[in-house]
Amino acid sequence: MIEIYDVSFYYPNKNIALKNINLRINSKEFVGILGENGAGKTTLAKCMNGLLRPQSGKILIDGEDISKYSVAQLSKKIGFVFQNSDHQIFAQSVEEEVKFGLKNFNFTKEEIHKRTEEILKNLNLFQYRNTIPFDLSGGEKKRVALASVLCLNPDILILDEPTIGQDSQQKKYLINLIDDLRDQGKTIIIITHDIEFASEYIPRIIVMGNGRIIADGPSNIITNNEFILERTNLILPQLSVLTKILKSSDKFKDFNGDQTDILNYYNELRRYI
């Protein structure tokens, strides 16, 4: 469980990034953090895993104050995958990238080999094990960064903008992977601008703006609330827009507002929009 109490953070230029954040994320939850650029999403995540230390307030992981632990110690508990994979990877081969953290924590050679082989196969990277990570595609580099984190088997995983540059097939692969991780009992936090992905797959959404939490609740409620979305410069998901059009159209007076009925009306609706 992650518990955040009155956390504030400001950068050396005195720009306030977080203002009195209070939040609780339960174990095994799948949560999305949404907001425009500069809302404080990534800053909050970096405070959770110790990369940044708040000037006030406290953060507890499973009841323990994380200020007592180093970033390295916290990395075994909280895995963080950066938005830009180039900022995270550095080794001369995919295999060495994955092994790096395991070596630093003094795992045995047998355990290092076992974990590396397993994670490379699970993320469809085994064929690239001897490849320089920077020679891979953007999506492949994201998987390498993820593999280097997952090999440590953290209880909590934070993914910063994991769907950027990913096509629909890659997004489906991502959600299948997340489902597998949730089955293993892991807590998943996704920072994203992708409201379509969030509305379809993420059960709980936290919306941030100007360093504060603007809204927190079930995704089907948050992503259909135009007031909240306009306030944070987010847009309604396409499915919500289509539902709104159906409800307001004289051509579809019998439409009951249930999004599951949309496909039945879609082909007819295309004649009018």
The answer to whether 118 and 166 are in contact (CB under 8 A) is no
Which amino acid, residue 99?
A: K
Residue 60 confidence (pLDDT) = 95
Residue 263 confidence (pLDDT) = 53
Q: Which CATH number does 25-54+63-77+155-235 carry?
A: 3.40.50.300
Which H, E and C letters describe 110-147, residue by residue?
Answer: HHHHHHHHHHHHHCCCHHHCCCCHHHCCHHHHHHHHHH
Burial class of residue 238 in the structure, from the number of CB atoms within 10 Å of its CB (0-12 exposed, 13-18 middle, 19+ buried): exposed
12-21, 23-32, 213-222, 223-232: which has the highest mean pLDDT?
23-32
- How far apart CA 67 and CA 173 sit, in angstroms, is 35
Higher-scoring residue by pLDDT: 4, 192: 4
Residue 24 confidence (pLDDT) = 95
* Digit-coded pLDDT (tens) for 147-159: 989 888 899 999 9
76-90, 95-109, 241-255, range with the lowest pLDDT: 241-255
- How far apart CA 183 and CA 178 sit, in angstroms, is 9
Does the structure show a pLDDT above 90 at 57?
yes
- How far apart CA 203 and CA 223 sit, in angstroms, is 11
Higher-scoring residue by pLDDT: 169, 206: 206
pLDDT bucket at 255, cuts 50 / 70 / 90: low
Mean pLDDT of 128-138: 87
Which of helix, strand or coil describes residue 108? Answer: coil
Mean pLDDT of 215-230: 80
Which of 101, 100, 95, 131 minimizes the C-alpha distance to 116?
95
What's the distance, CA 155 to chain centroid? Answer: 14
Does the structure show a pLDDT above 90 at 43?
yes
Mean pLDDT of 69-79: 88
Q: What are the extents of the domains in the chain?
A: 25-54+63-77+155-235, 88-153, 237-273
